Amino acid sequence: MEFKELDPILHSQLRLAVVSLLISVREAEFTFLKEKTNATAGNLSVQINKLKDAGYIEVTKQFSNNYPQTICKITKNGIEAFEAYVNALQSYMNPGTN
């Protein structure tokens, strides 16, 4: 029976939620992620920076009608890490099949 190691960057509820949302859409604003994850702005901001530093997401900051906008988009590395994470999870759910 072999358990694959779970990526510590993704094995955190809020970071995993953000990546799961971003994998489903082309790009999303900070406000959308905040609304869907129900996280506080401060915590979400910290986790987004960790994902950005890991190279899993791209973050673009811009102004729209004088309001700052933070747009997040998953990267190729992020997609690969997510797929590897889901594969690793499957090894825990179905031990012996991987």
Q: What residues line the site for another protein (CB under 8 A)?
A: 6, 8, 11-14, 16-17, 20-21, 23-29, 31-32, 35-39, 43, 64-65, 85-86, 89, 92-93
- CA distances to 14, 28, 38, 41, 90 from 55, rounded to whole Å, are 17, 17, 24, 21, 24
Q: Both tokens of residue 83?
A: 């797929």
Closest distance to another protein from the beta carbon of 56 (Å): 14
The nearest distance, CB 57 to another protein, in angstroms, is 14
CB of 94 to another protein, least distance (A): 10
Amino acid identity at 3? F
If the CB atoms of residues 5 and 77 are measured against another protein, the closer one turns out to be 5
Residue 84 burial (10 A CB sphere; 0-12, 13-18, 19+) = middle
